[in-house]
Structure 1
Amino acid sequence: MFAVDHLAAMLRRAGDFLFPPACAGCGRMLASHGAVCQRCWQSIAFIERPYCQVLGIPFSHDLGEGFLSAEAIANPPEFDRLRSVCAFDAAARSLVHALKYRDRTELAPMMAGWMARAGKELLADCDVLIPVPLHTRRLLSRRFNQAAELAFAVSRQTGKPMLATAVRRTRNTAHQVGLGRAGREDNVRGAFTVTVNGKQEVMGKRIVLIDDVYTTGATVSAIARALRRAGAADIAVLTFARALPDTI
C-alpha cells in the first residue's frame, strides 16, 4: 500500500510539473487544480436571494416571499423551477468554456459544489438527476458531455442518483449559439425522447435537469415536455450559469 501511495504521489508531482495548477479563469498559477484565483472569484456574479421563485431571476430588492418575475408570469416555463449559480458573464464564461471546450474536466467537482449550494432546495426534494444529453455524433467529436460531468459530480456530492440514459437526443441539432429565442425553440423541437427504460425510471419522480448554461430555456423546455409526457411528477432545472433577461 505504501508503495502504491508513493507512486501515486510521484505521478501527481510529475503531472503538476508538466501541467502546473492554474486558475481556469485567467491562467494564474495556483496551489491546486480545479480552482480559481481570488480575483476571478470576486468577479463572478453569484445569484443570491431575493430572486424569482420560478425562474431564479435576481431582484434588486426583496419583493416578498413567492414573488414572480414578469418573465415567469408572461411566459410560464415548461419546468417547475430554475436555479443557477451565477450570471453568464465573462468570468462564468471562462469557466464554462474551459470545461466544455478545453477538456478541463477537473473543474466539474468545483462547479458542481457551487451548483449543489445554489440548488439546495431542489436537490433536497428530488429523486433523480438527469443531465441534458448530447447527440451521439456530437458526443463522439467532443469526447464527453459537460452536463453529464456536472451531474455526476453533483450526484457524488449529494448522494442523489443520476440517470444518464433516461433521455436521448434523437436529432443532431444545429448549435444554439447565435440563434434567438424562436430559432432555439424551433431547433430543438422534437429533438428529445424518453427511452423505454427511462419511462419506468421517471414515472412519478421529482427530477432535476442538469446543464452548464441556461440561455432562453429552449433545450430544457423541450426535455421537460418529454418528461411530462412520460409521467414525471416535478421537473426542476439546475445550471452553473444563466443569461439574465437583458443579456439574452
Structure 2
Amino acid sequence: MKRWLGVALDSLLPPRCYACGTLVDRQGALCGPCWSGLHFITAPSCMRCGYPFEIGLDGHHMCGACLAHPPAYDRGISALVYDDASRALILGFKRADRLELAKPLAGLMAQTGRDLLAQTDLIVPVPLHRTRLLSRRFNQSAVLARALAQISGTSWTPFLLERTRRTPSQGGLSRAERARNVRGAFRVQPKAQAAHALKDKHVLLVDDVLTTGATVTACTGVLRKAGASSISVLTLARVVTPGQGPI
C-alpha cells in the first residue's frame, strides 16, 4: 500500500531536485549537477573538530586550531563545506520556510555522522531565543535534530537547552567577539533536565552551521556542568578557514 501511495504521489507531484527543481527519479533527491556542486567533508580530517585536510595523512591528526586551543566538545563532524552551493540550501531551509528540506538535509548529516549517532543517548539542538523563535516561527536546528532522531531512532529533546538572552547576530564578529557574545547566554532548562537526566549521558549537539565554534562551545559548557559524560557536535555545514590545516 505504501509503495502504491508513493507511485500515486509521484504521478501527481513528480519528484524534483530539492535544490534547483529539476525532475529527478525519487522524492527528496538532488539532481546530478547539484549533487556534484556540494563539497562533502570526508577523510582526511581533524580527529577532534572534523576540519577537512587538503592532503592525505596517515593515522589520526588534529588541525592547528585544535592543537592550539582544544575545543570544549569531544568530537565534531560536519557534512558539508559552507560555500555558495550549501549556503543556498541552508538559507532556503531556514529563511524561506522550506521545511521539506529538513529530512534530506538531515539524511546527509546522518550519513556523515553515523558513528556519532551510534554512540548517542540524546540529541539536543542549539536553541534560539524565544523572541527570535517567534519571528522566525521555527528553530532550524531543532527541526534538523528531530529529523535526525527519526532517521536514527535516537531520543531527542528540543527544550533541554535554553537561550536566556537574545544575543546580537554573530555575522561579522571575530572569533573573540563571538565567544564574548554568547558567554553566559545558555542554560539547561531545569524542568527538562529533570525529565532527561544528563548524568553519564552521551549528548549529540546539533546546529546548522559551525563557524568559529563559539556557540557550541557555550552550549557544551552548560551540558558538561549538568553531568553529560561526553558532548559531540554534528552540523550540516562548517566554514573552512585557510590556515587551519594540520601542523
| TM-score when normalising by structure 1 | 0.88
Aligned to 1:89: 83
C-alpha deviation, 1:77, in angstroms: 0.5
Matched, 1:102 2:96: yes
Q: Percent identity?
A: 43
Q: Secondary structure at the match of 1:153?
A: helix
Of 172, 180, 184, the residue aligned with 2:174 is 180
d(CA) in 1 for partners of 2:212, 2:158: 23
Is the 1:47–1:84 contact (alpha carbons within 8 Å) kept by the matching residues of 2? yes
Task: Please state how far the C-alpha of 1:33 moved relative to its aligned partner.
Answer: 5.2
Asked if residue 216 in structure 1 is aligned to residue 232 in structure 2, the reply is: no
Listed one character per residue, the Cα deviations across residues 144-174 of structure 1 (whole Å, up to 9, x for unaligned) are: 1110110000000000000111110111111
SS at 1:117's partner residue?
helix
Give the aligned residue type for 1:47. Answer: I
Match status 1:145 vs 2:133: no
Q: Deviations over 1:165-212 (max 9, x none)?
A: 111011111111121211211111100000113434222210000111
| Cα displacement string for residues 108-161 of structure 1 (whole angstroms, at most 9, x for unaligned residues) | 110111101111111111100001111111111101111011000000000000
Structure with more helix by fraction: 1
Q: Contact (CA 8 Å) 1:25, 1:91: kept in 2 or not?
A: no
Pair 1:191–1:50, CA change in 2 (3 A): same
Map of 2:127 onto structure 1: 133
SS in 2 for 1:137: helix
Quote the residue 1:233 is aligned against: 229
Equivalent position amino acid for 1:215 in 2: T
Amino acid at match of 1:42: S
One-letter amino acid matched to 1:246: P
Instruction: Give the root-mean-square deviation of aligned CA atoms.
Output: 2.3
Q: Which residue of 2 aligns with 1:155?
A: 149
Q: Could you tell me which amino acid in structure 2 is paired with residue 224 of structure 1? A: T
**Aligned ranges for residues 1-248 of structure 1 at < 5 Å?**
16=13, 22-30=16-24, 34-200=28-194, 201-246=197-242
The CA deviation at 1:59 is 1.6
Alpha-carbon distance change, 131 to 81 in structure 1, aligned in 2, over 3 angstroms? same
1:107 counterpart letter in structure 2: L
| SS of the residue 2:105 aligns to | helix
Aligned structure 1 segments of 4 or more residues deviating by more than 6 angstroms? 8-14
Measure, in 2, the Cα distance between the counterparts of 1:91 and 1:27. 14
- Separation in structure 1 between the aligned mates of residue 27 and residue 174 of structure 2, nearest angstrom: 36
Q: Whose RCO is larger (CA < 8 A, sep 6+)?
A: 2
Provide structure 2 residue ranges, at least 5 long, that are not aligned to the other structure.
none
Q: Distance in 1 between matches of 2:112 and 2:178?
A: 26
The TM-score with structure 2 as length reference comes to: 0.89
